[in-house]
Amino acid sequence: MTASELPFSAAEFSRRLEKVRAAMRENDIDILFVEDPSNMAWLTGYDGWSFYVHQGVLVFHDAEPIWWGRLQDANGAVRTVWMDDERVSGYPDFYVQSTLRHPMETLAAIIRSYGYDDKRIGVELENYYFTAKAYLTLQSELPEADFVDATALVNWQRAVKSDEEIVFMRRAARISEKIIDGIVERIRPGMRKTDLVADIYADAIRGTEDAWGDYPAIVPLLPSGSDAAAPHLTWDGRLIEAESATFFEIAGCYRRYHAPFCRTVYLGKPPQYLLDAEMALVEGLEAGLDAARAGNTAADIAEALGAPLTRAGIERSARCGYPIGVSYPPDWGERTISLRADDETVLEAGMTFHFMPGLWMDSWGMEITESILIKPEGAAECLCKRPRELIVKI
């Protein structure tokens, strides 16, 4: 595959690799095994629905990375990664879901063949895709190796987005706007939620004129009424009722880059407690956006948000945001910085966050959120351009 067919330039992939190598040197890691599919994609360009089996990327200091995975997925690797074809290695299918052998035996053989069987090997221990059995197998196969916890090492290198990445996130944001606009246009009392979700997916996948839609890392979330007190409920076949609020947590996705965006729709005349909550939440959002400046901290955003909510008598204990970018299921967050009072991470230009101060009370919920970009100067930019408000549809 030539560089012109890849989603990013050769210089961009080289920049990413060098950042990771520098982090490896800082942590005295001789070779790094990356199994998170988001990190795999960010480093190599690999993109495939294969993360349900063991796969990963080996990162060296002095050689191109090696993509390693199921043999039948190797054809997908040679079509999506920037490395030469000989840097793609596949294991036979009799390793898949076997109780007699484990794919990590073949990864260990590759590591031995390069002379790293007694070196410091970084692995992403706290990760959805790296099982306890995988780790135990590597330890058994490489007893002389010193395994180092490299959880989030690559994730932290992804924190500041390049200009090329920001282009993709802006395209994802246009898709997010399309999805929310479609929801507001179509939603009505008596409509089956499942029909509305079908329309959400149609808008998400069709995308816009200049950006086809990819599948998001999280399914649409849209609880109504008292169910909106639970932030992570999905849809069912029930009808949407009048005089109720439904929040919609969605994300446009372009080439695995996400722009999460949440709005709440009330069908009818909102009760006063929702209007009061809207006023406090929007005030907090505006204050948080003003605090989201390069040189400030993640905690500054959370504290600016919290003051108006506290004055309104709204207690909120959850974090109010997280970094976003390239992601695969089950999560579109980058799992590094948290927008909360105890996170003193300094904000840098190019960082992108889902500023997500959802309100989940005992019997109701509301979400009005923004995907934001930290700018070199001034307050953060909202990637989506829609009013911050409770949407009322009579």
* Mean of per-residue pLDDT scores for the chain: 97
Q: Is pLDDT of 298 > 60?
A: yes
Domain with residue 305: its CATH number is 3.90.230.10
232, 91: one domain: no
186, 56: one domain: no
Q: Is pLDDT of 9 > 50?
A: yes
Domain edge (last residue) among 141, 157, 173: 157
273, 340: one domain: yes
What gap in Å lies between CA 389 and CA 148, rounded to an integer?
A: 47
214, 315: one domain: yes
Q: For position 191, what pLDDT does the model report? A: 97
Give the H/E segment covering residue 257.
strand 257-267
pLDDT tens digit sequence for 14-57: 999 999 999 999 999 999 999 999 999 999 999 999 999 999 99
Show the tokens assigned to 150: 């490299």
295, 251: one domain: yes
Q: For position 322, what pLDDT does the model report? A: 98
Cα 217 to Cα 90, 186, 194, 210, distances in angstroms: 26, 24, 19, 21
Domain with residue 73: its CATH number is 3.40.350.10
248, 144: one domain: no
Q: For position 117, what pLDDT does the model report? A: 97
The whole-model pTM stands at 0.96
Domain edge (last residue) among 157, 184, 217: 157
Positive or negative, the CA dihedral 215, 265, 286, 339 is negative
**Percentage of residues of the chain with pLDDT beyond 90:** 98
Domain edge (last residue) among 157, 184, 208: 157
Show the tokens assigned to 376: 């070199």
What gap in Å lies between CA 54 and CA 48, rounded to an integer?
A: 13
35, 140: one domain: yes
pLDDT tens digit sequence for 75-130: 999 999 999 999 999 999 999 999 999 999 999 999 999 999 999 999 999 999 99
139, 249: one domain: no
Q: For position 376, what pLDDT does the model report? A: 98
Q: End-to-end alpha-carbon separation of the chain, Å?
A: 53
Domain that holds residue 17: 3-157
Q: For position 5, what pLDDT does the model report? A: 80
Q: Are the beta carbons of 367 and 262 closer than 8 angstroms?
A: yes
Mean of the pLDDT values across residues 203-209? 97
Q: Is pLDDT of 1 > 50?
A: no
Strand partners, 257: 254, 326
What gap in Å lies between CA 228 and CA 223, rounded to an integer?
A: 5
Q: Is pLDDT of 265 > 50?
A: yes
Residues 6+ apart with CB under 8 A from 266: 244, 245, 274, 390, 391, 392, 393
Q: Is pLDDT of 3 > 60?
A: no
182, 123: one domain: no
201, 150: one domain: no
Q: How many domains does the chain have?
A: 2
89, 142: one domain: yes
Give the H/E segment covering residue 301.
helix 298-311
53, 101: one domain: yes
